[in-house]
Amino acid sequence: MNKKIVCIAGVVLVIFSNLFGCVSQTRINENYESYDDSSTVANSEEESVTDATGETKDTQLVLNNKNADTEAISKIYDELRRINGDSLVTVTDDYGYITFLKGTVSEKKFERMSDYENALEFLKPALTASSDIELVFTTALLDDYNYQYAIFTEKLEGDTVTSNVVKFILKDGYMLGLTSSLVPYYAPKGNVIDDTVAIEIVRDYLDENEADKEYFLAPETEKTFKYQTDPITLQEYCTKVFVVISNNPESNKDGVEAPFLEHYVSLNGEYLGKAPSYVKRGQDDERDYSIFNKWFKRSITHSYQTSYEDANGKVEEVVVPVTEDEGKYYLEDSKRRILCADYYEFAYNKRIQILSSKTNDDWDLDTIIAYHNYIVSYDFYAELGRYGPDGLRAPILLLMDYQKENHEPIDNLCYLGCMENVHIFTATTRANNYNRALDVVGHEYTHAVTTTAIENVIYKNEQGVINEAISDIMGECIEIMHYEKEGIDVNPDTVFAMGQSTGNVIRDLIYPELHGQPRYAGGKYYVPTASVPSVNNDLGGVHINSSLVSEMLPMMYFTSGLSLNDIRRIWETVICILVPRSDFSDLCEIVLMACEMSGLEEATETIQKSIKMTRIDAKEPFEYLSENESQISLLLPPWIDWNRSRLEVRNESGKVSVCWPQRKSNKIVITVEPDKYKIRLLQFDQNGDCNAHWQYGENGWEMNGEDNEYYRDIPIGERISLPAIEYINK
């Protein structure tokens, strides 16, 4: 029987001519006071947006949509209720279309492609406004629990729109549910430019608007489908654009990981904006990847062993595989298909120079530690049946000594992306020692996993928050499980502190507020989704708000009674279920479903408690106010750009909190500790530069004036509304 190895969502699989012939290649405590049930946060009675979806409140959004076939949708819900009864759960987007469904459309087994096609035809009015959308089967996956995932992707103009997908979830051929990520297509009008013009448009835009930043543009473009947002209506749509890749000048900034930017140019020549990105290129004309055909075949293998002491005095033994060829030793893992090479040679001399030694006893310590930590991360996922980030044993290239062309070290370690089917990471830098933090390395490795598992990851707002949080969750699981396996003691006070082994903690999943992250939606440090995600608003809070999801891990670890092996299996299932547009509302149900699918229903109570305490299901996060906190709010006038404004408050000790208007709103609300604050409002232009600011003083707002020393007293438990900003013609 003919078979074809394929992978879109990252799980190892083999596709046979029959959809159901796919098989996996390999099968393979104490009192937690931070999550006390008596917490004031847990007293919120906010209703979940995802419960009892069959009720009127879920279908009403659809019925109010003027583009929807309301009669057809009503019939769909009637039939879904008839088949599933009270067990039916759905989640809908802002326009009322289903993004998550727990239940089935048929009591029969799905045995033929026509069964899927009939199900899609039945559900289509409730999934999308595009009645003529064509969805074609692209991939079937089988996870370690024998759950099947059948993925259908939109076909448009002869191409597949990889971000517009419907994913069926099945067990033994019976439908359990689906996730959907469908956005209407917009066809640009006018003459179509060519690739070279698109590159020039990006170059001209950057020269005119960001001349102070150093950009390097890739010599070729890609024409593909991407999500965009209308700047006026904020309606999300899908359209075909030119994508021009550049470096990310902000990647040295704290919290900015993505090393590249995608610049979008419409087919008729309009610069649409940019977004952080990992490279995903089928062909790299600048480098010779044929080197990988000769590696991983060495018959002479050795190992290199050393030990080191981390920042906390913990001694770690490290053993890594080494190969020998013609009298030289190489940092090569033939089993896992991992190679270590020099970053400078790769980036600037366009060569893949594998690190070597004549003696096998003079390796750089940080290189060895990074190599070892990536091997541990690889094995963590291999135990779940995922061999390599894509699940198909694609090679991994670890680039050491991340630096600029002038040899200045770059203060970042990250997943660069995939080129020529090789997954590439920057693994060490002289600017920091995070290569020694297994949880940080596991975080970056997980970015590679989710990038291949979820086509076109949306790295902004709630979707980006989920992506960051899953990397934190799996990174911590990787580190703790390794420590337990090696018999290394784990300190419960720092066990979930990201980067703690280096002495420089980035985030703390138990105590998020120590590092400027919120404990619950609407609380101190929380930021809302952004209408125009940018560096100035953390792309809608992707790093700031990640604690709202990652807090689930310590709750599961300390209160559910599950092993870490059980917990990682739940989150691996979550990764399999997610689609590009899955947001908090979807995630609340997806995690609960993943617990059931993993046979770990006992974890659902912990998840529900976590959802309630973090309030990620809240429709209006700022409606709730803890008795120990206060709020400051400001209504922006129409002549200030709501989408590019930021409120900053600074107390007398210099601690700063920021916030911006919630998407489609002119109201800024920021939750703070009771204190005295200096307050100012900033407005940014399209390039991210501040073009106006207002300082709050004793006499109200002053525009573009000198910094004053006025601190407004914010009493405990108060909601303070700041006076309106008057129009000043300057």
With 70 as the cut, is the pLDDT of residue 146 above it?
yes
Predicted confidence (pLDDT) at residue 594 exceeds the cutoff of 80: yes
Count: domains in the chain: 3
Quote the Cα angle for 288-289-295, to 5°: 125
**Tokens 């543009």 belong to which residue?**
217
- Is the confidence at residue 422, as pLDDT, over 70? yes
**Which residue, chain included where needed, has tokens 């059948």?**
150
| Domain stops at, among 152, 181, 210 | 181
Local confidence band at 141 (pLDDT 50, 70, 90 cut-offs): confident
Which stretch of 450-454, 469-473, 650-654 has the lowest confidence by average pLDDT? 450-454
**Which of 10-19, 140-149, 452-461 has the least mean pLDDT?**
10-19
DSSP class per residue in 488-526: ----TTTTTEETGGGT---EESS-GGGGT--SSTTSTT-
40 and 111 together in one domain? yes
| Residue 373 belongs to some domain of the structure | no
Which CATH number does the domain housing residue 636 bear?
2.60.40
Confidence of residue 4 (pLDDT cuts 50, 70, 90): very low
User: What pLDDT does residue 694 have?
Assistant: 94
Residue 541 predicted with pLDDT over 90: yes
User: Per-residue pLDDT for 32 more than 60?
Assistant: no
Amino acid at 240: K
Residue 502 falls inside a structural domain? no
Q: What is the pLDDT of residues 356-386, one digit of tens each?
A: 999 999 999 999 999 999 999 999 999 999 9
Residues 6+ apart with CB under 8 A from 457: 450, 451, 463, 467, 580
Same-domain check for residues 23 and 118? yes
Considering the domain architecture, whether residues 124 and 12 belong to the same structural domain is answered as yes
Residue 444 lies in a domain: no
28 & 140 share domain: yes
Q: Which residue has the higher pLDDT, 2 or 328?
A: 328
Decide: 563 and 556 in contact? Cβ < 8 Å: no
Sign of CA dihedral 321, 322, 324, 327: negative
- pLDDT given at position 11: 35
Q: Note the pLDDT of residue 476.
A: 98
Winning range, highest mean pLDDT, from 264-273, 449-458, 579-588: 579-588
Is the model's pLDDT at 49 over the cut of 70?
Answer: no
Average confidence (pLDDT) over 230-234: 73
Q: Is pLDDT of 535 > 80?
A: yes
Judge whether 636 lies within some domain.
yes
Give the model's confidence band at 38: pLDDT under 50 very low, under 70 low, under 90 confident, else very high.
very low
| Residue 66 pLDDT greater than 80, yes or no | no
Higher-pLDDT residue of 457, 592 = 592
Residue 281 has a pLDDT of 65
Spatial CA neighbour of 185 closest among 232, 120, 241: 241
Whether 602 is covered by a domain: the verdict is no
- Tell which of 277, 311, 335 closes a domain: 277
Residue 97 has pLDDT above 50, yes or no: yes
Q: How much is the pLDDT for 728?
A: 63
596 found inside a domain: no
Lowest pLDDT segment from 9-13, 521-525, 609-613, 725-729: 9-13
Distance CA 353, CA 170 (A): 45
Mark whether 132 and 214 lie in a shared domain. Answer: no
Alpha-carbon distance 455 to 278, whole Å? 12
**Span of 12-26, 178-192, 447-461, 571-585 with lowest mean pLDDT:** 12-26
User: How would residue 213 be classed by pLDDT, with cut points 50, 70 and 90?
Assistant: confident
Name the residue range of residue 663's domain. Answer: 625-721
Q: Is there a contact between 228 and 264 (Cβ–Cβ < 8 Å)?
A: yes
- Output the pLDDT for position 260: 85
d(CA 141, CA 591): 19
Q: What percent of the chain shows pLDDT beyond 90?
A: 62
Residues 43, 127 share a domain: yes
User: pLDDT for 172-188, tens place per residue?
Assistant: 999 999 999 998 888 87
DSSP letter for each residue of 107-127: SS---SHHHHHHHHHHHHHHH
Looking at the structure, tell me whether residues 62 and 86 fall in a common domain: yes
Whether 166 and 208 map to the same domain: the answer is no
14, part of any domain: yes
Average pLDDT, integer, range 70-92? 94
DSSP for 574-606, written as a single string: HHHH--TT--HHHHHHHHHHHHHHTT-GGGHHH
The predicted structure's pLDDT at residue 105:
97
* pLDDT at 454 (0 to 100): 87
Same domain? For 41 and 107 the reply is: yes
Same domain, 60 and 157: yes
The token duo for 29 is 């405590």
Query: 217, 249, 277 — which closes off a domain?
Result: 277
pLDDT in tens, 274-308: 888 777 666 677 787 777 777 888 778 999 999 99
As a whole number, mean pLDDT of residues 646-669 equals 93
**676: in domain:** yes
Average the pLDDT over each of 219-223, 617-621, 644-648 and give the range with the smallest value.
219-223
Does the structure show a pLDDT above 60 at 503?
Answer: yes
Residue 729 has pLDDT above 60, yes or no: no
CA distance 160 to 524: 42
pLDDT at 37 over 70: no
> What does pTM read for this prediction?
0.87
User: Which of 205-209, 215-219, 545-549 is predicted most confidently?
Assistant: 545-549
Q: What is the mean predicted confidence (pLDDT) over 198-208? A: 93
Arithmetic mean of pLDDT, 63-86? 80
* Residues 6 or more apart in contact with residue 689 via CB below 8 angstroms: none
- Check whether residue 168 and residue 202 sit in a common domain: no
Name the residue type at position 552.
M
| Band of pLDDT at residue 48, cut at 50, 70 and 90 | very low
65, 159: one domain: yes
- Which of the four pLDDT bands, split at 50, 70 and 90, describes residue 71? confident
Q: 361: burial class by Cβ within 10 Å (0-12, 13-18, 19+)?
A: exposed
